[in-house]
């Protein structure tokens, strides 16, 4: 039998009121709240590897469909919505909380590992503010597929177990243009060691509730960072250092695979350094550091691809402010924040070396930094698909004319006719420098190519593919999402016959909502 034992619920103060009404919740880490029942829960996608990890059946039973649709709970589950705050687009937003998420419980897996099971879209909670607590199929499928893709890409992330259609429509205004329409509703089951966020600590700090802040931080350290030692001001500082380190690593992982989160508010920053809260995210197609998939973010482009590392640092500053009452040493916190820049720069160099197929060596640091910088410059000389460019880079070889040298990259260019004259020359010149530098590593070309292909994925969950799969799934054709999830399990392997899942964005998708732009309206 599946065992549940929620340490979060066991260790931290609950909201005294059990009423499911929208309000400010003080002095508590969470509110107990049951999911709202739905008419007809149907499992639309099930992730067998996650099920196996949890000790659940390889295919969904009716009982699990009911539980994950929010219609039933199992013995030992104490469903709750977590209380947290956050900075949204640079401004303090006060209390936010799980407005459309409910944790069912902490599952103790057969190997004794513990996993939080959380429903996204199960109905209203005390934190729903003005919204319905529901999610639509489109955004739920996007979350399930992308979080699993990220896992297989090797990027720290929350995971997903199931996508359940609710049998109920949800009304959404996709473009915020007053044209609201009903869409099928769905619930994703998310799975993680914890969904604690920067905003979890910011809220009690903003309310001067140092007692609750301390309980939350102590719980986090003893439960999720036990190697840091018993809670003390020194441990709290080490905790902040560790979160900073993980965040820097995560930002560089996002850069490596071309992921843009889209809403890096502090309530969407995981304290464990995971990718969390998949909303209007996107994958870089044409390389453009200023690209953001989120229409809400278009005015300032705060969360654009190239800004993610510096926004993460700003978010860490918010976390530092929240932890300050427990640490009391401004200088020490500032020193950690300063280290972030160095850490991120070092991570970036090492990540880009792997993408470019170069071995690390201090004597090449300067040259490699220049190669990296010029790589980004070259990538904007003509619209170039980020994923395909790096993937095909492993097949570029020496002893050829400019055109021959660049030919293996052809698939990556959105406007092939532009790749002539100065653009072609620039590309070829940069490739020659790269190959000359790589030769000095003395590595066999096959070994270099294999290493590059293990870093540069071929299959990423491109936005326009998601649109196609969403339409099929909404019409009850479930084989497509299954096939996509299968392909995304091996993103670094060339999979014969699966080319459609690797193709660059077709022209029809360039300006289509959902394919090139997304709103928070999910
Ligand atoms: P997000 O930017 O999606 O992470 O959401 C920010 C805040 O809005 C969180 O507190 C969410 O729980 C809440 N929220 C977003 N969508 C809904 C919804 N449909 N119903 C209730 N709360 C929501
Ligand atoms: Mg969120």
Q: So where are the chain's domains?
A: 3-198, 358-453
Q: Mark whether 267 is an active-site residue.
A: yes
Cα 447 to middle of ligand 1, angstroms: 46
Q: Is the CB of 255 under 6 A from ligand 1?
A: no
pLDDT at 231: 97
Quick one: tokens of 160? 């997903």
In this prediction the pTM is 0.97
Cβ of 83 less than 6 Å from ligand 1 = no
26 alpha-carbon distance from chain centroid: 29
Note the pLDDT of residue 298.
Answer: 86
Q: Which residue has the tokens 């469903």?
A: 79
> Distance (Å, rounded) from C-alpha 167 to C-alpha 462?
27
Going from the Cα of 99 to the center of ligand 1, the distance in angstroms, rounded, reads 5
Q: pLDDT means per 10 residues in the chain (522 residues)?
A: 94 97 98 98 97 98 98 97 97 98 98 98 97 96 98 98 97 84 96 98 98 98 98 98 98 98 98 97 96 89 96 98 98 97 96 98 96 96 97 90 95 96 96 96 97 98 96 94 98 98 93 74 58
Hunting for tokens 């339409």 — which residue is that?
A: 471
Neighbours of ion ligand 2 (CB under 5 A): 268, 277
Q: Long-range contacts for 20-28 (Cβ within 8 Å, ≥24 apart)? A: 20/124, 20/125, 20/126, 21/126, 22/124, 22/126, 22/127, 22/128, 22/129, 23/126, 24/95, 25/83, 25/95, 25/97, 25/126, 25/127, 26/207, 26/209, 27/209, 27/212, 28/83, 28/212
**What is the pLDDT at residue 522?**
56
Cα 84 to middle of ligand 1, angstroms: 12
The pLDDT assigned to 37 comes to 98
519 lines ligand 1 (CB under 6 A): no
């Amino acid at each position: 039998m599946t065992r549940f034992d929620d340490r979060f619920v066991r260790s931290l103060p609950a909201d005294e009121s059990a009423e499911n009404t929208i309000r400010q919740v003080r002095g508590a880490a969470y509110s107990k709240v049951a999911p709202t029942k739905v008419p007809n829960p149907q499992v639309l996608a099930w992730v067998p590897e996650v099920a196996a990890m949890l000790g659940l059946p390889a295919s969904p039973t009716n009982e699990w469909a009911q539980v994950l649709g929010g219609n039933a709970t199992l013995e030992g589950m104490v469903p709750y919505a977590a209380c947290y705050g956050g900075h949204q687009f640079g401004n303090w937003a006060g209390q936010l909380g799980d407005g459309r998420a409910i944790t069912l419980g902490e599952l103790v897996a057969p190997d004794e590992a513990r996993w939080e099971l959380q429903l996204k879209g199960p109905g209203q909670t005390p934190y729903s503010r003005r919204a319905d607590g529901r999610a639509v199929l489109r955004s739920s499928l996007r979350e399930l597929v992308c979080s699993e893709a990220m896992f297989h890409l090797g990027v720290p992330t929350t995971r997903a177990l199931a996508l359940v259609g609710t049998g109920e429509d949800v009304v959404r205004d996709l473009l915020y243009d007053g044209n609201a329409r009903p869409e099928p509703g769905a619930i994703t089951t998310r799975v993680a060691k914890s969904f604690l966020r920067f905003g979890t600590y910011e809220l009690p700090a903003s309310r001067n509730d140092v007692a609750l802040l301390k309980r939350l931080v102590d719980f986090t350290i003893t439960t999720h960072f036990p190697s840091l030692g018993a809670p003390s001001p020194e441990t709290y500082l080490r905790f902040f250092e560790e979160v900073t380190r993980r965040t820097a690593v995560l930002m560089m992982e996002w850069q490596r695979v071309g992921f843009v989160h889209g809403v890096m508010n502090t309530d969407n920053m995981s304290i464990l350094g995971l990718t969390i809260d998949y909303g209007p995210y996107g994958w870089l197609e044409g390389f453009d550091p200023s690209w953001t998939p989120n229409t809400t973010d278009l005015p300032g482009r705060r969360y654009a691809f190239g800004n993610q590392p510096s926004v993460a640092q700003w978010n860490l500053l918010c976390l530092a402010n929240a932890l300050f009452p427990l640490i009391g040493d401004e200088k020490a916190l500032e020193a950690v924040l300063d280290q972030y820049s160095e850490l991120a720069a070092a991570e970036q160099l090492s990540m880009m070396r792997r993408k470019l197929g170069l071995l690390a060596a201090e004597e090449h640091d300067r040259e490699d930094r220049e190669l990296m910088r010029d790589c980004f410059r070259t990538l904007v000389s003509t619209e170039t698909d980020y994923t395909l460019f790096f993937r095909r880079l492993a097949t570029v070889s020496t002893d050829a004319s400019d055109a021959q040298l660049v030919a293996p990259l052809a698939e990556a260019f959105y406007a092939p006719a532009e790749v002539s004259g100065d653009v072609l020359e620039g590309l070829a010149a940069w490739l020659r420098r790269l190959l000359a530098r790589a030769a000095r590593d003395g590595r066999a070309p096959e070994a270099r190519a294999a290493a590059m292909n293990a870093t540069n994925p071929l299959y990423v969950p491109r936005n326009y593919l998601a649109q196609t799969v969403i339409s099929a799934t909404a019409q009850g054709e479930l084989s497509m999402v299954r096939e996509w999830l299968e392909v995304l399990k091996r993103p670094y392997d060339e999979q014969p016959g699966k080319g459609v899942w690797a193709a660059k964005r077709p022209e029809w998708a360039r300006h289509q909502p959902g394919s090139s732009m997304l709103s928070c309206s999910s």
